Structure 1
Amino acid sequence: MTDESASLDPVELGAYFALIEVSSLLRHAVELQLKEAGGLSYVQFQLLATLGDSPAGSKRMTDLADGVVYSRSGLTHQAGLLEAAGLVTRAPSVDDERSVTVTITEAGRAVLATVFPGHIAVLKKLFLAPLGREDVEELARSLSLVRDHMRSTPPRSAAPRRRGSGRRAGGTS
């Protein structure tokens, strides 16, 4: 590794720190709005919105975990909370009996309909307000390139599970 590859120039470092700060500030504001408007956590909103956006309103748990980049065990917990609230149902997958499919309910769609206006208002006020249309288009293009590059290596939640003695290396999932 050369010294050049081990460092970032000031513009690269500035872009990275700006992204981190913008992400933190936006997530904080969004989390407050979701909790106040619908009693949802950020992850629960992501799960409901992902299900609500899918043609059948359903996805396999593994696909959901990979899509929102969340651990399988964490997703199981969140899906359980959403199911207890009547916002989703879980059932064995018709395609693979080892998989579980999560489906958004009408109550889940109603919660999304309740939180979306405020969610959009937060995004417009905090994230989009200082940008012109061309800025938004360029940002979308740039972030899509980065996202696609990062998605070319699957997140840990998508990695095949190890088979063997039943014990996991390192003791964590």
Structure 2
Amino acid sequence: MSDESPWLSPAELAVWLKFSHLLVRVPQELDAQLRRDAGLNWYEYLALAGLSESPGRTARMSDLAVLTNGSLSRLSHVVKRLEDHGWVTRAPSPDDGRYTNASLTDAGWEKIQEAAPEHVATVRRFFVDPLTSDQLADLDHCCEAMQKALDGP
């Protein structure tokens, strides 16, 4: 540890430990709910949801990887599984053949429509409902500040 990075104060450490617990626990809860109720993992859901909200239900794979916060390699493996279920198709981009587009099929649209209500209820139960509107606004500001730190100067 360098002199430039002092140890966390007791108050900082207490908040960090609570936040660290949530960083692990919330994704586990979301993943478990989606597996149980929709037969999807959380990352598969994020990919389907991202496509469902994209114009024409189609997105470049590279853009979808950013949206799902995953590598292009990881996304390719997931999209292959989604293709095997008939929920997604892939094709070269008509605008630039160097890119591949992923598109949500009608069956994929039905799948995300089926999965969304319980998923939103779970997000609401663990994320939205425990907070007041002021706390949610404060959390939004906190997330923006942390995202800026992650994105760099």
Instruction: Give the TM-score normalised by structure 2.
Output: 0.88
Can you give the 5+ residue segments of structure 1 that lack an aligned partner in the other structure? 154-173
Q: How does 1:1-20 map to 2 (within 5 A)?
A: 3-20=3-20
Instruction: Decide whether aligned partners of structure 1 residues 58 and 131 sit closer, same or farther in structure 2, where only a CA change above 3 A counts.
Output: same
How far 1:8 moved relative to its partner?
A: 2.5
The answer for the alignment partner of 1:28 in structure 2 is: 28
How far 1:138 moved relative to its partner?
A: 0.9
The alignment of Structure 1 onto Structure 2 pairs a total of residues equal to 153
Could you tell me how far apart the structure 2 residues matched to 1:4 and 1:83 are? 49
Q: Is the 8 A contact 1:52 1:104 kept in 2?
A: yes
Per-residue displacement from partner, 1:90-146 (whole Å, max 9, x unpaired)?
000122212110011121121111111111211222223321111111112211232
Instruction: Decide whether aligned partners of structure 1 residues 151 and 75 sit closer, same or farther in structure 2, where only a CA change above 3 A counts.
Output: same
The answer for the alignment partner of 1:170 in structure 2 is: none
Could you tell me how far apart the structure 2 residues matched to 1:96 and 1:10 are? 54
The answer for the alignment partner of 1:157 in structure 2 is: none
The answer for the alignment partner of 2:143 in structure 1 is: 143
How far 1:82 moved relative to its partner?
A: 0.4
How far 1:6 moved relative to its partner?
A: 4.1
Could you tell me how far apart the structure 1 residues matched to 2:152 and 2:93 are? 26
Could you tell me how far apart the structure 2 residues matched to 1:56 and 1:146 are? 32
* Structure of greater relative contact order (alpha carbons < 8 Å, 6+ residues apart): 1
Cα RMSD after superposing both structures? 2.0
Identity %: 31
Can you give the 5+ residue segments of structure 2 that lack an aligned partner in the other structure? none
Q: How does 1:120-159 map to 2 (within 5 A)?
A: 120-152=120-152
Could you tell me how far apart the structure 2 residues matched to 1:93 and 1:152 are? 31
How far 1:4 moved relative to its partner?
A: 4.7
Instruction: Decide whether aligned partners of structure 1 residues 68 and 107 sit closer, same or farther in structure 2, where only a CA change above 3 A counts.
Output: same
How far 1:43 moved relative to its partner?
A: 0.7
Moved more, 115-124 or 84-93: 115-124
Instruction: Give the TM-score normalised by structure 1.
Output: 0.79
How far 1:15 moved relative to its partner?
A: 2.9
